[in-house]
Chains A and B, each alone.
Chain A
Amino acid sequence: MNEQTLTPEQRTANLKGMGTSRKRVEDVRFTQGKGNYVDDIKMDGMLFGDFVRSPYAHARVKNIDTSAAAAVPGVVAVLTAADLEPLGLHWMPTLAGDKQMVLADGKVLFQGQEVAYVIAEDRYIAADAAELVEVDYEELPVVVDPFKALEPDAPVLREDIAGNMEGAHGPRKHNNHIFTWEQGDKDATEAVLAEADVVAEEMVYYHRTHPCPLETCGCVASMDKVTGKLTLYGTFQAPHAIRTVVSLISGLAEHNIRVISPDIGGGFGNKVGAYSGYVCSVVASIVTGKPVKWVEDRMENLMSTAFARDYWMQGKIAATKEGKITGLWCHTTADHGGFDACADPTKFPAGFMNICTGSYDIPTAYLTVDGVYTNKAPGGVAYRCSFRVTEAAYFIERMIEILAIRLNMDAAELRRINFIRADQFPYQSALGWEYDSGDYHTAWDKAMKAVGYDGLRAEQAQQLADFNAGKTRKLMGIGLTHFTEIVGAGPVKNCDILGLGMFDSCEIRIHPTGSAIARLGTISQGQGHATTFAQIIASEIGIPADDITLEEGDTDTAPYGLGTYGSRSTPVAGAATAMAGRKIRAKAQMIAAYLLEVHDDDVEFDVDRFVVTGAPERFKTMKEIAFAAYNQAIPGIEPGLEAVSYYDPPNMTYPFGAYVCVLDIDVDTGEADIRSFYALDDCGTRINPMIIEGQVHGGLTEALAIAMGQEIAYDDMGNVKTGTLMDFFWPTAWETPNYQTDWTTTPSPHHPIGAKGVGESPNVGGVPCFSNAVHDAFRSFGLTQSHMPHDHWRIWKTANGLGLHG
């Protein structure tokens, strides 16, 4: 069949554009072991770095003796803070306006903190020599509880800023206090609480956990002393920002730095920040003139690179006796560890925690967040979520359940009567956001119908009766969640990181034969960008997705962008891609009109071609147009067919979803058996349904992990109790339930293709859904709140505390 005879539907299908479950082009190499990760990089003469780390959570470093380590054959150098100080690199700025020790400068503040850096010709020699570095520590009192950290006589952790009561985000009220962030109307909220029919109050703790990507963090720094150029390969979720940061803190000119993120084995926020390993490797390469590789091991990853959550959220929710919510109050105590290294936009020290009014029309609300230093690892990154959105969603979805208990109402109905209505969008929330779009009632009703909600409640009641009659020892729980995310940071007017506006970018070049290459400022860590962004271009320009190469992560070739985290790739870079495509299409239209000898306005785009209006037999395909762009002298039009777009979104996007989890709890062993999980996601326009489903499965599984067992736990001495995968819960296929996915489509009104982002939604919605199911199983026995993770012994403890063990 030639191009003349194909139907528009056939031509559309050939493009594999938006809406197609196109197979992931990345998987050809990943499934054959042909990926190229940081640790796959091998260079001539490459050296290896390894850290000496603190065994103590809080100690003074009185002396470091590196002589024995330096004497080991094959050791090139051993760096300490004293070596970095003349370069001004013994401390580095954090993304949160704080500073962090690169190597211990007089003291250590958390177990696993970097103390010395050994550089050797061989990875094994580096590890052997690290054991020989003798560090003389004087132990100091340890503070692992953020509330105790704020007591008047608490030990001062950050002596470098002791007495300096003006922090990066306003006044500090204690030497261990970092910031207070305040949103909403305090007086109005307190008035509502005072007058409400009902106020439910509870402390909701979202425990400390860790993104723990399959590939740990690492880099290879290579300084070419002849050209003066530094190439830095690394597991960076934001390679362009890393280039700028390296330039600012090292003094190297930015054009002499090339940052490359190769294939990345998962990031989930863990790979956004800058770590000591990067700084030390760069210094080591500059000093030695040789490439230096540093890759952390699993224990180092869990103990020292960025954690997530650790929010203590005290909540009050007010309602009428009929269940209409009238106000929400929240005070959060945020444990940031030894340094404030949160990865949040500058003006948002607690991220977007002020999305905590959730999916509900709550007229009055007030939020305060106190950031606190403790003797724990720094971080506070967005683990598969937009900045602190998981914490916010968990908080409001628990408070709704607690209110339902207080009102003796069905929690599904309580949600329904409080949802923001479709006709209220764009919706101005009490805590300052403008929700762009949503249709919560439609999604909720679809979910309730799909799971047979009334039938589930009847079944639960029967099982409870059987339990009370001694016929079973299992309780059935039904977990509900309706979450609203806020992603796609973000408008440059209020979102920046280190002063860099959070736009993103795409450059498209059409080759003479009609194929193309596109480069973006983002970087895939498994999301499938090479597949999905090509689909956007295919639909926008009319070139088959299979004919488009997509590249990211090389700062020498890709346009500047702020990277991939916070579900921002599709909302921001995806928009840039569509806009760049439209620029190309506009030029293609002029070329087509010239070739067809008609006026520009007399041709119209038709899937993969421009057609003369009213004369469908007269057209030029994009392939023909591309060739013409390179071989014809067209009056008034430059040769070539390329475009670049830098997109500054006018607003965030607000994906949402309705989830239902059904599980059975064995009250005697504390085991929870997930019977079913239904997940309806509305991410606006769907680019690749298969990838969406994969994202939802992955995000739900991480949610399962967090809700049911995964944590970074410390003992009173600040020792990490969960530093290996034996104790840090990673579900295997065996523990992972089957998921039923579903969707509604409410396009974003301001996004060029209406897409909203989906990778993080299932983690944001999944955690409260699993947790609510556990709570719901015990609701009839009087449980209102039990903190995550819901592992066997904590569930058992709940059952025991409720008198269910006789």
Chain B
Amino acid sequence: MIPAGFEYHRPTDIGAALSILQEHGDEARVIAGGHSLIPMMKLRMADIGHLVDLQDIGELRGIATDGGTAVIGAMVTQHELITHDGLASAIPLIREASLQIADPQVRYLGTIGGNVANGDPGNDMPGLMQCLDAQFELTGPDGSRTVPARAFYEAAYFTARDDEEILARIHIPIPGAGTGYAYEKQKRKIGDYATAASAVLISVQGGSCSAASIAMTNLADTPIWAAAAAAALVGSSLDDAARSAAVAAAVEAIDPVSDNRGPVEFKKHVAGVVLRRAIDRAASRAS
């Protein structure tokens, strides 16, 4: 658990960070909270020549919740997500999910940007962002562009972000008042990745489901935004049959692998259980 040598950079603005990335190409990696990258370096599974620490870049911080969209800086920590009152009232789902990530010590350092940009299928934020239809603002040498969370993840650790781009901010449409939400996660212990997790948003109008969004975490090599599962709820009265159909559609969409948490059969079953509980809780909160 001794990492190989590396150069440490600590720029104070995005422009400086980008030029370090350009200079060193694929030898350079940005580091946010470091919870994924540092263990990989210590295991010598990641050999990083130049480590670009983003923590002194003020423009990557801050949370704004006005104008119908929440804008969250990439270096905002999970602790800040939990304790920001404006965000908690605008999008309570983020707080509920963040509280299920590891423990307070981890959350003081772990960032939303690192969590979504690393492309680790075990992370909670990617699925959450897909559920919320977040947009990722990427800044590179040629300026900024925006990629939807639902189109960002290509495979484990592979995303739409170019090597020379930095995730700067995340834009999340604030769900309408009365939207029901739930983040449900099964894990072996505090600090573990999910055995299965799901994020659910449900809106109701006049007794029937008017909109829904469902995402599943750590059940494939990317987060799974389960459009067919959500579609099974929309237009229904959220009756048992609709909920069961949504679960069946989501289980069909996932592709878990066997690991120490259990075999595929178990994970698919638990994914269905976890999603059903999330739908039940979200539905109970929808008004």
Partner of B269, one of A128, A298, A805: A805
State the CA gap A97–B191 with chains docked (Å).
Answer: 42
Q: Are A722 and B260 neighbours in the complex by a CB distance under 8 Å?
A: yes
Measured between beta carbons, the chain A residues less than 8 angstroms from B191 are 726, 732
Partner of B270, one of A669, A713, A730: A669
Q: Does A127 contact B (CB under 8 A)?
A: yes
Q: Does A787 contact B (CB under 8 A)?
A: no
Measured between beta carbons, the chain B residues less than 8 angstroms from A729 are 188-189
Q: Are A796 and B269 neighbours in the complex by a CB distance under 8 Å?
A: yes
State the CA gap A727–B187 with chains docked (Å).
Answer: 12
Using known A-B contacts A50-B2, A124-B5, A732-B103, determine if residue A721 contacts B260 with beta carbons closer than 8 Å: yes
Q: Using an 8 Å CB-CB cutoff, how does the interface string of A773-806 with B read, 1 for contact, 0 for none? A: 0000000000000000001110011001000010
Using known A-B contacts A128-B4, A128-B5, determine if residue A713 contacts B189 with beta carbons closer than 8 Å: no
Closest A residue to B261 using CB positions? A793
State the CA gap A588–B191 with chains docked (Å).
Answer: 58
Q: Using an 8 Å CB-CB cutoff, how does the interface string of A689-720 with B read, 1 for contact, 0 for none? A: 00000000000000000000100010000000
Partner of A792, one of B1, B44, B193, B261: B261
Measured between beta carbons, the chain B residues less than 8 angstroms from A299 are 1, 43
Q: Does B58 contact A (CB under 8 A)?
A: no
Q: Does B237 contact A (CB under 8 A)?
A: no
**Chain A 326-349 interface residues, beta-carbon cutoff 8 Å to B:** none
Measured between beta carbons, the chain B residues less than 8 angstroms from A722 are 260
**Closest approach, in angstroms, between the C-beta of B2 and any C-beta of chain A?**
4
**Chain B 248-287 interface residues, beta-carbon cutoff 8 Å to A:** 260-263, 266, 269-270, 273-274
**Closest approach, in angstroms, between the C-beta of A48 and any C-beta of chain B?**
10
Closest A residue to B266 using CB positions? A793
Using known A-B contacts A729-B188, A732-B189, A735-B190, determine if residue A796 contacts B5 with beta carbons closer than 8 Å: no
Q: Are A791 and B273 neighbours in the complex by a CB distance under 8 Å?
A: no
Q: Does B65 contact A (CB under 8 A)?
A: no
Q: Using an 8 Å CB-CB cutoff, how does the interface string of B188-204 with A read, 1 for contact, 0 for none? A: 11111101000000000
Using known A-B contacts A713-B260, A792-B262, A796-B269, determine if residue A127 contacts B186 with beta carbons closer than 8 Å: no
Q: Are A731 and B1 neighbours in the complex by a CB distance under 8 Å?
A: no
Q: Does A446 contact B (CB under 8 A)?
A: no
Q: Does A131 contact B (CB under 8 A)?
A: yes
Measured between beta carbons, the chain A residues less than 8 angstroms from B263 are 793
Closest B residue to A794 using CB positions? B262
Measured between beta carbons, the chain A residues less than 8 angstroms from B186 are 669, 671, 792
State the CA gap A671–B263 with chains docked (Å).
Answer: 16
**Closest approach, in angstroms, between the C-beta of B228 and any C-beta of chain A?**
23
State the CA gap A131–B266 with chains docked (Å).
Answer: 39
Closest B residue to A123 using CB positions? B2
Q: Chain B interface mostly helix, strand, loop or mixed?
A: loop
Measured between beta carbons, the chain B residues less than 8 angstroms from A668 are 269-270, 273
Q: Using an 8 Å CB-CB cutoff, how does the interface string of B1-13 with A read, 1 for contact, 0 for none? A: 1101100000000
* B contacts with A, residue count (CB < 8 A): 24
**Chain B 1-45 interface residues, beta-carbon cutoff 8 Å to A:** 1-2, 4-5, 43-44
State the CA gap A413–B164 with chains docked (Å).
Answer: 71
Using known A-B contacts A792-B262, A797-B266, determine if residue A298 contacts B189 with beta carbons closer than 8 Å: no
**Closest approach, in angstroms, between the C-beta of B197 and any C-beta of chain A?**
12
**Closest approach, in angstroms, between the C-beta of B83 and any C-beta of chain A?**
20
**Closest approach, in angstroms, between the C-beta of B238 and any C-beta of chain A?**
21
Q: Are A735 and B260 neighbours in the complex by a CB distance under 8 Å?
A: no
Closest A residue to B265 using CB positions? A800
Closest A residue to B260 using CB positions? A727
Measured between beta carbons, the chain A residues less than 8 angstroms from B274 are 669
**Closest approach, in angstroms, between the C-beta of B129 and any C-beta of chain A?**
24
Partner of A791, one of B2, B188, B270: B188
Closest A residue to B196 using CB positions? A669
State the CA gap A792–B185 with chains docked (Å).
Answer: 13
Q: Are B273 and A669 neighbours in the complex by a CB distance under 8 Å?
A: yes
Measured between beta carbons, the chain A residues less than 8 angstroms from B190 are 732, 734-735
**Closest approach, in angstroms, between the C-beta of B264 and any C-beta of chain A?**
11
Measured between beta carbons, the chain A residues less than 8 angstroms from B2 are 50, 123-124, 126-127, 297
Q: Are B195 and A792 neighbours in the complex by a CB distance under 8 Å?
A: yes
State the CA gap A297–B3 with chains docked (Å).
Answer: 12
**Closest approach, in angstroms, between the C-beta of A522 and any C-beta of chain B?**
31
Measured between beta carbons, the chain A residues less than 8 angstroms from B103 are 732, 734
State the CA gap A127–B5 with chains docked (Å).
Answer: 10
**Chain A 96-153 interface residues, beta-carbon cutoff 8 Å to B:** 123-124, 126-128, 131
Measured between beta carbons, the chain A residues less than 8 angstroms from B189 are 709, 729-732, 734-735
**Chain A 251-302 interface residues, beta-carbon cutoff 8 Å to B:** 297-299
State the CA gap A727–B262 with chains docked (Å).
Answer: 12
Q: Are B5 and A792 neighbours in the complex by a CB distance under 8 Å?
A: no
State the CA gap A357–B273 with chains docked (Å).
Answer: 43
State the CA gap A721–B263 with chains docked (Å).
Answer: 14
State the CA gap A294–B2 with chains docked (Å).
Answer: 13
State the CA gap A805–B260 with chains docked (Å).
Answer: 22
**Chain B 144-202 interface residues, beta-carbon cutoff 8 Å to A:** 186, 188-193, 195
Measured between beta carbons, the chain B residues less than 8 angstroms from A126 are 2
**Closest approach, in angstroms, between the C-beta of A745 and any C-beta of chain B?**
36
Measured between beta carbons, the chain B residues less than 8 angstroms from A123 are 2
Measured between beta carbons, the chain A residues less than 8 angstroms from B193 are 726
Measured between beta carbons, the chain B residues less than 8 angstroms from A721 are 260
State the CA gap A797–B270 with chains docked (Å).
Answer: 12
Closest A residue to B44 using CB positions? A131
**Chain A 170-185 interface residues, beta-carbon cutoff 8 Å to B:** none
Measured between beta carbons, the chain A residues less than 8 angstroms from B44 are 131
Closest A residue to B258 using CB positions? A793
**Closest approach, in angstroms, between the C-beta of B47 and any C-beta of chain A?**
10
State the CA gap A61–B269 with chains docked (Å).
Answer: 45
**Closest approach, in angstroms, between the C-beta of B39 and any C-beta of chain A?**
8
**Chain A 146-169 interface residues, beta-carbon cutoff 8 Å to B:** none
Measured between beta carbons, the chain B residues less than 8 angstroms from A730 are 189
Measured between beta carbons, the chain B residues less than 8 angstroms from A797 are 266
**Closest approach, in angstroms, between the C-beta of B42 and any C-beta of chain A?**
8
* 15 pairs of residues in contact across A and B, judged by CB atoms under 8 Å: A124-B2, A131-B44, A297-B1, A299-B1, A299-B43, A669-B186, A671-B186, A729-B189, A732-B191, A734-B189, A791-B188, A793-B261, A793-B262, A793-B263, A796-B269
Binding site for A on B (CB under 8 A): 1-2, 4-5, 43-44, 103, 186, 188-193, 195, 260-263, 266, 269-270, 273-274
Extra inter-chain contacts (9) besides given A50-B2, A792-B261, A793-B266, CB under 8 Å: A668-B270, A671-B186, A732-B103, A734-B103, A791-B188, A792-B266, A793-B261, A796-B266, A805-B269
Binding site for B on A (CB under 8 A): 50, 123-124, 126-128, 131, 297-299, 668-671, 709, 713, 721-722, 726-727, 729-732, 734-735, 791-793, 796-797, 800, 805
